[in-house]
Every structure is written in structure tokens, then in C-alpha cells.
Amino acid sequence: MNEPNRAIPAFAEPDWAQVARIPVADCGEALSSLRLAPALQIYPAYRHLGIPEAVDDCQVRQEVFERLLRAAECLPAGLVLVVLDGWRPIAVQQHLYRTLEAAMARHHPQANAATLQRLTRQFVSPPSTDPQAPSPHLTGGAVDVTLCDAQGRWLDMGSRFDEVGPRSFSAHYETAAADDGAALAIRDRRRLLHNAMLEAGFSNLPSEWWHYDYGDQLWAWYRGQPAALYGPTAPPSLEGLWQQQLAERFASPT
């Protein structure tokens, strides 16, 4: 990997209104399960947290699958990429947003609706299945990741996954004091993860060291792409597959 210890830039938060205006030209890639990928560790975090309707797998678009494998190859020997979440049902997105917004309202009782939305969306996107402005995780292009060692021990990344505070910002530890060994070690782990993911073509949400995107509108925003590759999607249902197979089988000859 090129420059694995390259500093993490302090990017500004995206202009969400402009992000939502980026065209979506869905390429039609299917979702793929990461469960059997030997180079990755899978830990469906929201299922383990007992979030209603959270799935027990991590599924992503096929190109995201390939790029995660590429990112894993960029890591130094002894480090393993852990995937905590990929495609997310709309019910989970609604639960996360509603719960965090309510918590923000309790801690900021004077805040108006616009302020509460700004504070909440730093860490959870508003739920949306709009084909032209979907929540990132509903596209199969957003992933949440961390690192563990070869024995499966999670590394200290400086904050908990989904922690809502300044330590969650990707570049938070870039200002660590030169004599603070623990903070510098966290900084270097974040740099390893960040640079491996960017080397594989992902972009990072600055307020979440664990959140990376490929192919969705956030990726297009940070990568300067003219359009997103992925809109909202979902795993195919058995009924849907049967209907498709029957339609193909009994299609009238042309």
C-alpha cells in the first residue's frame, strides 16, 4: 500500500443538499454476502445489539465486495478487516435515526428541528428510499469497518463503533501530543484503516472513522464523480426470484 501512515485530512462535513442532488444511475449490481469471504471478519453489529429487523449478515454490492478484499490485502500482515455493517433495511435506518434524534433532543432541549437534524445526521443519515436520494446504507455501497488482529482481538480505535462525539471524527487523533503514546497508536491504526480503504477506492465520512462508501452519492461527492452508481436496493425475496424465473420460462417467443 502506498503511504500506509499518511495523515488523515480534516475534511469538512458534506453539503448534504448538494449530495442529494448528485444523479443516481444505478448499474444494477446485486448484493453479495461477505459471510464466506476468508480474508474478512464479519460481525453484524446491529443484530448483536438487538436492533429490531437488523440482518444477521453483511451484504454489499459486488464491486464493493471486491474492493473490500483489495483493502484487506493492503493491510500489514497480522491485521484483519472487520465488517460491522453493509446493506441496511429501511426499518433499521428509521430506528437508528429516530433513537439518536430523540437522544439529541434530550441533551439539546432548546434546539430547533434544523439543528437537531444537523446534529443527528453527523452520525446517522435520515431514512430515505428515494431512488434519487437514498440513505447510504440502503444502497449496498456503504460499509462500517474496523480492525482486529490475527487472533480476532479487536484493536482500540479510540472510540466505540457508533459513538456520538468528537472522538468518532476520523482525524480526531491527528492532533495527538508527541508524548502521548496511546493516542499516537490509535492515530496510526486509524491511518492504516483509512489509507487501506482509500487505496481500494472508498471515501470516508469525516465524522465516523468506521464509515466508508463506494458507488453511492457520498462517494461521488468526495471522489468528484458526476453520478452515483448505486441507488436503493434490497436482497431478492424467494417469491420475487420465483416470479422472475416463471416469467422467463413462460415468456412469449418474439
Task: Count Cβ atoms below 10 Å from residue 9 Cβ, excluding itself.
Answer: 12
For the segment 191-246, what is each residue's pLDDT rounded down to a tens digit?
Answer: 999 999 999 999 999 999 999 999 999 999 999 999 999 999 999 877 766 877 88
Contact indicator for 119, 191 with CB cutoff of 8 Å? no
For the segment 48-74, what is each residue's pLDDT rounded down to a tens digit?
Answer: 999 999 999 999 999 999 999 999 999
Classify strands 142-149 and 211-213 as parallel, antiparallel or unpaired.
antiparallel
pLDDT score for 249 = 82
Q: pLDDT category, 148, cuts 50, 70, 90?
A: very high
pLDDT score for 247 = 83
pLDDT score for 122 = 86
For the segment 8-27, what is each residue's pLDDT rounded down to a tens digit?
Answer: 999 889 999 999 999 999 99
Angle at 140 between CA 30 and CA 113, to 5 degrees: 145
Q: Clarify whether 208 is annotated catalytic.
A: yes
Residue 109 has pLDDT above 70, yes or no: yes
Residue with cell 488523515: 8
Q: pLDDT category, 76, cuts 50, 70, 90?
A: very high
* 179 in a known ligand binding site: no
pLDDT score for 236 = 82
Mean pLDDT in residue range 126-147: 97
Cα separation, 115 vs 112, whole angstroms: 5
Cα separation, 71 vs 82, whole angstroms: 11
Least confident piece of the model among 83-87, 116-120, 153-157, 228-232: 116-120
User: Which residues are 41's β-sheet partners?
Assistant: 82
Residue 250 has pLDDT above 90, yes or no: no
Reported residue count of the chain is 254
* 48 in a known ligand binding site: no
User: Residues 29, 63, 199, 208: which is the catalytic one?
Assistant: 208
Residue 139 has pLDDT above 80, yes or no: yes
Cα separation, 139 vs 125, whole angstroms: 13
Per domain, the residue ranges of the chain are 16-249
The proportion of the chain whose per-residue pLDDT surpasses 90, expressed as a percent, equals 84
Q: pLDDT category, 183, cuts 50, 70, 90?
A: very high
Contact indicator for 5, 209 with CB cutoff of 8 Å? no
Per-chain mean pLDDT for the chain: 94
pLDDT score for 121 = 86
* 108 in a known ligand binding site: no
pLDDT score for 1 = 55
Cα separation, 75 vs 86, whole angstroms: 20
Mean pLDDT in residue range 180-196: 98
Query: Nearest Cα to 126, choosing from 136, 139, 111?
Result: 136
Question: Domain 16-249 adopts which CATH fold?
Answer: Muramoyl-pentapeptide Carboxypeptidase; domain 2 (3.30.1380)
Pull the grid cell for residue 151.
487472533
